[in-house]
């Protein structure tokens, strides 16, 4: 069973790229972030024509997450619990039947948090605390649980082409990275690092400064696995080639393969 995550950076602007990749890669489940679309305006018809069920939690112009699945949804949970006043569409969770059991999948668009001396960073850290609490509660269910998305966290210096350039940035601040480690310490597995320690493995290249051409990238898109999902992990790959397509997202898909 292949499960992917991709910050699409505007589903309408990148729809052709998304459809091309879905046709060629054919993941069973794809978690999208930054769809920048209200639910009613999401181009679900073209995606459903490829055999996917579609669940969205969107808002106009920015943020927004989606889960695409070749299998039916048993449950869909929009919004991250813990703050009823939070109106930003950044979390969507679904339980998906596979015929060989079920898997719980979350599409996560964690706040960027910059500038770090503003309330945006305070919001990021509070959001991560809510994610930690929800993950801890969900792990007690002892299910295969995949937390997939754009975490806006560079976990380690080797996850950046130029770590020094990110010093002080909200993506690389010690407190941000510490909260990411606390998530892992719940018993979650970073799927990519469980499969490879290869250097220069990135998932994001900025549009500015020739970052793609210089391979000046960072790894901020992650799939974190519960023990029950990690036991089924066969492989993880980064579909880097999509960054070279016309009008690309600045992120690329990350795909895991779980044994059924």
- Note the pLDDT tens digit of each residue in 248-257: 999 999 999 9
Average pLDDT over residues 186-214: 97
Catalytic residue among 28, 150, 169, 221: 150
Q: Which residue has the tokens 């909260």?
A: 179
117 is in an annotated binding site: no
Task: Label residue 260 by pLDDT band (50, 70, 90).
Answer: confident
Q: pTM score, two decimals?
A: 0.97
Average pLDDT over residues 128-134: 98
What pLDDT digit, counting tens, does each position of 97-117 carry? Answer: 887 779 999 999 999 999 999
Choice between 230 and 99, residue whose per-residue pLDDT is larger: 230
Average pLDDT over residues 233-242: 98
pLDDT of residue 99: 75
57 is catalytic: no
Q: Lowest-confidence range among 99-103, 229-233, 237-241?
A: 99-103
Nearest Cα neighbor of 154 from 135, 138, 137, 168 is 168
Average pLDDT over residues 198-208: 96
pLDDT of residue 101: 79
**In what helix (H) or strand (E) does residue 4 lie, and over which residues does it extend?**
strand 2-7
Task: Label residue 15 by pLDDT band (50, 70, 90).
Answer: very high
Joined together, the tokens standing for residue 10 give 């505007």
Whole-number Å distance between alpha carbons of 131 and 104: 15
Neighbouring residues of 109: CB distance < 8 A, sequence distance ≥ 6: 7, 33, 34, 63, 64, 65, 89, 90, 91, 149, 150
251 is catalytic: yes
Average pLDDT over residues 124-147: 98
pLDDT of residue 150: 98
What pLDDT digit, counting tens, does each position of 30-78 carry? Answer: 999 999 999 999 999 999 999 999 999 999 989 999 999 999 999 999 9
Do 151 and 192 touch, CB atoms closer than 8 A?
no
71 is catalytic: no
Q: Is the bond preceding residue 115 a cis peptide, omega within 30 degrees?
A: yes
Mean pLDDT of the chain: 97
Joined together, the tokens standing for residue 207 give 């549009």
pLDDT of residue 104: 98
86 is in an annotated binding site: no
Q: Which domains can be identified in the chain, with CATH numbers?
A: 2-258 (3.60.10.10)
* Residues recorded for the chain: 260
221 is in an annotated binding site: no
Catalytic residue among 52, 91, 109, 202: 109
Q: How many CB atoms lie within 10 A of CB 118?
A: 11
pLDDT of residue 124: 98
pLDDT of residue 98: 82
231 is in an annotated binding site: no
- Across the chain, the runs of DSSP E, i.e. the strands, are 2-7, 29-33, 53-57, 65-69, 73-78, 91-97, 102-109, 145-150, 189-190, 204-205, 217-218, 221-225, 233-238, 254-258
């Amino acid at each position: 069973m292949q499960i992917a995550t991709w910050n699409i950076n505007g589903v309408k602007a990148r729809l052709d790229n998304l459809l091309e990749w879905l046709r060629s890669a054919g993941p069973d489940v794809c978690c999208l972030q930054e769809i920048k679309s209200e639910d009613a305006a999401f181009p679900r018809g073209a995606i459903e024509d490829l055999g996917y069920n579609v669940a969205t939690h969107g808002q106009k112009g920015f943020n927004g997450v989606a889960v695409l699945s070749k299998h039916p949804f048993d449950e869909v949970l929009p919004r991250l619990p813990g703050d009823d006043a939070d109106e930003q569409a950044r979390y969507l969770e679904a339980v998906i039947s596979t015929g060989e059991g079920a898997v719980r999948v979350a599409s996560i668009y964690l706040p960027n948090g910059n500038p770090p001396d503003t309330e945006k960073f305070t919001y990021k850290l509070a959001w991560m605390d809510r994610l930690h609490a929800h993950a801890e509660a969900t792990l007690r269910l002892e299910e295969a649980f995949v937390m997939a998305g754009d975490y806006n966290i560079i976990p380690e210096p080797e996850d950046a082409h130029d770590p020094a350039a990110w010093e002080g940035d909200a993506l690389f601040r010690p407190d941000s990275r510490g909260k990411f480690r606390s998530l892992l310490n719940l018993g979650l597995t970073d799927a990519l690092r469980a499969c490879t320690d290869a250097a220069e493995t990135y998932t994001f290249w900025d549009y500015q400064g020739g970052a793609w051409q210089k391979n000046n990238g960072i790894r901020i898109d992650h799939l974190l696995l519960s023990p029950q999902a990690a036991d089924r992990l066969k492989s993880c790959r980064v579909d880097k080639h999509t960054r070279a397509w016309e009008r690309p997202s600045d992120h690329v898909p990350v795909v895991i393969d779980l044994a059924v």
